[in-house]
Amino acid sequence: MKKGTVFVLSGPAGSGKSTVRERLMSKGLNFHYSISDTTRKPRAGERDGVDYGFVTREKFEEGIKNGAYYEHAYYAGEYYGTPVSQLLPYIESGVNVILEIEVDGAMQVREKDRDAVLVMLLPPSYSELEARLRGRGTESEDKIQKRLSRARDEVLLYPKYDYFLLNESGRIDECVRQLEVIAEAQTYRTKNTPDFPEEFFKI
C-alpha cells in the first residue's frame, strides 16, 4: 500500500504556523495533525490531548529512554516531542501526517525519512515577529526574549528546508494556498504514483 507523506511545518513562534496549519486542515485534505507531547504548562484555552499531551518531565524522560518519541527537542527550557504513535500508524495506512515542530526536531525527521517534506514559514520581518509575539500577551518578558533569540537562530536554518513561505500580514489565504500547492505536488512524485501504465513494461 502507498505510504503517507510526512509534512514538517516549522517557523519561529509568531510566524503564524498554527493558523496556517489549521486552515490547511479545514480543507478536508488527507492529513492527520500529530499532537505532540510537551512538559510546558498549558496556556489559557489549551486542552490536554487536543493541543498537546501535557506530561511531566519524568514521564517525558522515560518516553525518550523507551523510544516513544519519533523526534524530540529541548526548547526554551521545556521538552517537546512527536510520539511514535502519532506518526507511524498513519503513514503506514496511507494518511499524510503534518508535524508542527521546531528546527532540531525537523532535522531529526529529515535523518529518518528522506521523503519527508520540510516547509519553513517566516513572518515578513523580525520587527513584525516581535510585535506578534508581544501581541499574544501570553509570555513573560524572559520567555519572550528566549523565543526571540531562538527565532533568529531558527530562521537562518531555512536552506535546510525544502520550501520556505512568507506569511505576510493580511495575506494568510495566499500562504495557505501555497502550502496546498506544495502538498498536492507531492502526489505526483514518482514514489507516490502507483498508476504508472503497466503496458509500457510490455512493449
Closer residue to ligand 5GP, CB minimum distance, 82 or 96:
82
* Packed helices 172-186 and 17-25: angle between N→C axes, nearest 10 degrees: 60
Closer residue to ligand 5GP, CB minimum distance, 68 or 192:
68
Give the CB-nearest residue to ligand 5GP. 105
Pick from 161, 169, 187, 179: which is nearest to 4 by CA?
A: 187
Q: Which stretch binds ligand 5GP (CB under 6 A): 75-83, 121-129, 157-165, 182-190?
A: 75-83
| Site size toward ligand 5GP, by CB under 6 A | 14
Residue 75 touches ligand 5GP, criterion: CB under 6 A: yes
Q: How many residues does the chain have?
A: 203
Q: Which of 36, 39, 96, 167 binds ligand 5GP (CB under 6 A)?
A: 36
User: What CA–CA distance (Å, rounded) separates 120 from 156?
Assistant: 11
Near ligand 5GP in 97-126, by CB under 6 A: 100-102, 104-105
Quick check: helix, strand or coil at residue 103?
helix
Query: Grid coordinates representing 61?
Result: 524522560
Are the C-beta atoms of residues 185 and 5 closer than 8 Å to each other? Answer: no
Kindly list the residues in this chain that would bind ligand 5GP in the complex (CB under 6 A): 13, 36, 40, 71, 73, 75, 80-82, 100-102, 104-105
